[in-house]
Amino acid sequence: MPTPEYPPEKLRKYPHMSPEDIPIWERFLDKYHAHFAGFDYDVKVGTPVEMNPEWPPNIKAMAVALTKKRIDAIGYSPGRIWIFEVKPNAGTTALGQIITYRDLFIFEKSPIRETLGCIVTDRENRDARALAEKYGIRYEVV
């Protein structure tokens, strides 16, 4: 199992997580932290913008960092890797994000463990939940 960068507990600051996401994520941690060995946050996947060969190295590095897709959190549990999208009132946009992030992660990292997607939100959206179930994505309201 990869060694997670962060423990399965609340942090003072979560890389990349917006202020409205943090209370939702912390309610999730309150409920499920014991199921995880730890987490990684702000994990970048996908293809960055095309680079102009004339850009200096520092600009190229910034462009890569800013234009890849960003996974809110990755959780490591026995036998599984969880890809999380944390969003208030998550609907179908979150569903598209989590499917994309999960599949890019699998494509780029070729994990040997089962890799699952999970939307963590604060309000029920029945359409998003039904579609999440259809695509094998967990929809967790906390």
Q: Is residue 8 part of a domain?
A: no
- The DSSP symbol for 68 reads S
Pairing mode, if any, of strands 80-86 and 69-77?
antiparallel
- For residue range 23-63, what is the model confidence (pLDDT) as tens digits? 999 999 999 999 999 999 999 999 888 888 888 889 888 88
Domain assignment of residue 93, given as a range: 22-141
Q: Is residue 13 part of a domain?
A: no
What's the total number of domains in the chain? 1
CATH assignment of the domain containing 61:
3.40.1350.10
**Is 0.95 topped by the overall pTM?**
no
Q: Tokens 């996974």: give the residue.
A: 71
- For residue range 59-78, what is the model confidence (pLDDT) as tens digits? 888 887 788 899 999 999 99
Q: Is residue 33 part of a domain?
A: yes
Q: Is residue 9 part of a domain?
A: no
Q: Is residue 63 part of a domain?
A: yes
Measure Cα distances from 130 to 16, 29, 98, 120, 126 in Å: 28, 24, 15, 15, 6
